[in-house]
DNA sequence: GACTCAATCAATAACCATTCCTGAAACGGA
DNA sequence: TCCGTTTCAGGAATGGTTATTGATTGAGTC
């Protein structure tokens, strides 16, 4: 993890009152090592390699704390486990319905959408998420080949 | 159900090869009677009032068939069961994180977003969904009151 | 360094929406 | 009517996630 983010993370822990334990740090490291957008299970497997005593429940709890204090974010496509992401900048992700791989979709501006939604509903908007599904090039090729 | 939609539905069943059974019709009727966006369980409870022998699994299967042939659509907010909707026109829904109520958000244009996404990813986009969460006026009031 | 209290942890059981499985029933076509 | 296929009911199973319960750890204090 870059120094800057590291400081930022420490700051968020300090402000929240939660403590930055070794398990939570391990979860963060697993997230930054993992390519793509790992599930809780993926994170668990990575963390377990270094510390076999860690339980899956601990990983879930750590992920929930990290999301609550705004260090990571989650996306939940239906019919698949929740994916976690260190990238906090607004961005779109697409998930392959066949193999489950998640990739970023660059270059699509969604600025102002949340504001327009808020302007058109009496609800107090707390979160918006764009969930995109498709076929990755690899799976599209295999489908045509088969 | 209006006559027009009724004919449309029959047509979609004919084309798909599925049969429009009484159970599937009952599910459709339950969906059109239900206010808002019912879950499978909600639909099940309504259907069961008229036909107590119908099983929950049957409702799930019927909903899945109806979605597959394009008669209904589903939205899945995390941490809550999938909601089903007869309204096939593009529209946004917001879900209250406190009571679970779903309401429509009118007047927000999302035209062209799917095309822009497709233009910026090598994936073959099959589906996009905007999932919006917030606090409904009622729950926001209760929160402030408490 | 020992003490105290709260926060956190590991392990496991429980939960719940959804799917799968099985044999029975209904349906459509010869 | 018979036959093959589709659909159904009922219930068991699945899988991601959360709750529970003591044990452990850690920061602050003396």
State the DSSP H helix or E strand holding residue A124, giving kind and residue range, or none if neither.
strand A124-135
pLDDT above 60: residue A123: yes
Query: Which pLDDT band holds residue B3 (cuts at 50, 70, 90)?
Result: low
A43 touches A56 (CB < 8 A): no
Nearest residue on chain A to B105, alpha-carbon basis: A121
Q: What is the pLDDT of residue B2?
A: 56
Average pLDDT, chain B: 92
Average pLDDT, chain A: 91
Q: What is the pLDDT of residue A5?
A: 74
Both A70 and A8 in one domain: the answer is: yes
Nearest residue on chain A to B102, alpha-carbon basis: A123
Residue A84 within a domain: no
Q: What is the pLDDT of residue A21?
A: 93
- B65-99 residue pLDDT tens: 999 999 999 999 998 999 999 999 999 999 999 99
The partner residue sitting opposite A129, judged by closest CB among B113, B125, B131, is B131
| Chain B residues within 8 angstroms (CB to CB) of chain A | 74, 76, 78, 82, 92, 94, 96-97, 103, 105-108, 110, 113, 116-117, 120-137, 140
Residue A79 within a domain: no
pLDDT above 70: residue B21: yes
Looking at residue A9, which CATH number applies to its domain? 1.10.10.10
Residue A28 within a domain: yes
Total of domains in chain A = 2
Strand partners, B93: B104
- Average pLDDT (A61-80) is 94
Tell me the three state secondary structure of residue A62. helix
Residue B60's nearest nucleotide, by CA–C1', is C18
Q: What is the pLDDT of residue A141?
A: 87
Q: Alpha helix locations (H) across A51-112?
A: 56-68
Query: Which pLDDT band holds residue B36 (cuts at 50, 70, 90)?
Result: confident
Which of A25, A50, A74 is the last residue before a domain boundary?
A74
- Average pLDDT (A99-111) is 93
**Rounded to whole angstroms, what are the CA distances from A124 to A68, B14, B28, B100?**
19, 43, 32, 14
pLDDT above 70: residue B40: yes
Q: What is the pLDDT of residue B6?
A: 85
Which of A50, A74, A98 is the last residue before a domain boundary?
A74
Both A66 and A95 in one domain: the answer is: no
| CA distance linking residue B108 with residue B91, whole number of Å | 8
The partner residue sitting opposite B120, judged by closest CB among A107, A125, A128, is A107
Which of A74, A106, A135 is the last residue before a domain boundary?
A74
Q: What is the pLDDT of residue B34?
A: 86
Both A96 and A48 in one domain: the answer is: no
Residue A61 within a domain: yes
- Minimal C-alpha gap between A120 and chain B (Å): 6
Q: Which domain holds residue A17?
A: 1-74
B124–A130 CB contact, under 8 Å: no
Q: What is the pLDDT of residue B120?
A: 97
Both A54 and A105 in one domain: the answer is: no
Both A1 and A67 in one domain: the answer is: yes
Residue A80 within a domain: no
B18 touches strand D (CB under 7 A): yes
Both A8 and A70 in one domain: the answer is: yes
Share of chain A above pLDDT 90, in %: 84
Query: Which pLDDT band holds residue A3 (cuts at 50, 70, 90)?
Result: low
Q: What is the pLDDT of residue B1?
A: 52
pLDDT above 70: residue A72: yes
B124–A108 CB contact, under 8 Å: no
Both A51 and A94 in one domain: the answer is: no
Looking at residue A131, which CATH number applies to its domain? 3.30.1490.190
Residue A40 within a domain: yes
Both A56 and A99 in one domain: the answer is: no
Both A44 and A100 in one domain: the answer is: no
Query: What are B63-69's contacts with CB under 8 Å, separation 24+?
Result: B63/B27, B65/B18, B65/B24, B66/B24, B66/B27, B66/B28, B68/B16, B69/B12, B69/B13, B69/B15, B69/B16, B69/B18
């Amino acid at each position: 993890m870059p120094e800057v983010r590291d400081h930022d993370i420490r700051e968020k822990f300090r402000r929240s009152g939660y403590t930055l334990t070794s398990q939570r740090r391990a979860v963060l490291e697993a997230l930054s090592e993992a390519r793509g957008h790992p599930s809780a299970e993926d994170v668990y497997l990575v963390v377990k390699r270094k510390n076999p005593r860690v339980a899956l429940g601990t990983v879930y709890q750590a992920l929930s704390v990290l999301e609550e204090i705004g260090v990571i974010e989650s996306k939940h496509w239906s019919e698949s486990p929740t994916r976690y992401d260190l990238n906090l900048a607004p961005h779109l992700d697409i998930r392959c319905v066949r193999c489950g791989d998640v990739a970023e979709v660059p270059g699509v501006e969604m600025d102002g959408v949340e504001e327009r939604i808020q302007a058109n509903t009496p609800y107090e908007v707390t979160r918006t998420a764009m969930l995109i599904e498709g076929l990755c090039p690899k799976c599209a090729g295999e489908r045509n080949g088969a």
